[in-house]
Copies of this chain bind each other. A is one copy, B any other.
Amino acid sequence: MNYAIDDLILVMKTTKSAICVGLDPFLDKIPDLFIQEGEKLFGKTLSGASYAILKFNKTVLELLAGKVAVVKPQFSLYLKYGPEGVYAFYQTISYAKQLGFLVIADAKSNDIDSSMEGYVQGFLGEAEVSDKKQKVFNADFLTVNPYLGSDSYKPLKKVIECYKKGAFILSKTSNKSSAEYQDKDLDGYHLYLTVAKDVSSYFSDMKGENGYLAAGIVVGATMPEQIKIIRKSFPGLFFLIPGFGAQGGDIDALKYAFSKNIGFIVNASRSILYSYLDLYRDLGFEKAIIKSCEDMNEKVNSVIKW
């Protein structure tokens, strides 16, 4: 079968890029010209902020088109600016898809029954209004938090089949306090590993033509040892790897994650979007974005046989 995860692998191979650029808007880091344009039009308001974010994202997307295959807007950083911010999130996804990117909605959604369906239909599928179905955010993948168990996975199967979408379920996150629960021994098995095992078995009937299940997992680049263990135990899981760059994740994690048909996509946000404030402060923000993206592609490609 051909699933969204197979499309992902295909565009990665086409662009020769295994990175996903995190569209994480921070008003204090976005270049002034966008902020000022937003303020000029809407004042120092949530609308002004959302306008600046959207304009910045569009510029970033235009700069990166063809260089990376996937972007990942972080939902919370748009939600922060209210319905206007969520509108910028929506427009960002729409523009990204217009330019040919695949989009991961990073909302770490979780709930049960019809509530989880709400997230899945909204972010990935369609909403029904009377007898008329319509696309909403129309992202390609959604991140999902497993704390509520497989009730949160159930609605995913339908969008995977009907709409060719996918999901990444949190297994081992990149943050320090992820150890508090995820590393605990659960009847002889770490929680993060139990989640990986369960995802692997829950979606076992949905294996794509590249050898990966239609739903993958999230494992942090800061967790190389855990990546090694999961890769070995569950070769059918595709990894979304955050925490590279700004959070200190290193290249070993990617070596362990690499497998037939790549096996992972690695996210970078601040280290690309805002490198003009830091590593490439001598370049303008546009050149800095392109340069840091190329650096990242090169670094990541050192562990990949395409």
Contacts and interface: CB of A to CB of B under 8 A. Distances in A.
A50 B49 CA distance: 24
A111 B108 contact: yes
Contact of A184 (B109, B117, B145, B187): B187
Contacts of A26: 114
Interface in A126-147: 127-132, 134, 136-137, 145-147
A98 interface: no
A11 to B, nearest CB: 25
How many copies of this chain does one complex carry?
2
A181 B74 contact: no
- The number of chain A residues touching the other chain, given as a range, is 35 or more
B111 A110 contact: no
Nearest to A153: B177
A174 B275 CA distance: 45
A294 interface: no
Interface string A45-56: 110110000000
Contact of A181 (B48, B179, B194): B194
Interface of A: 24, 26-27, 35, 39, 44-46, 48-49, 74, 76-83, 85-87, 89-90, 108-119, 121-123, 127-132, 134, 136-137, 145-152, 170, 173-182, 184-187, 191, 194-195, 198
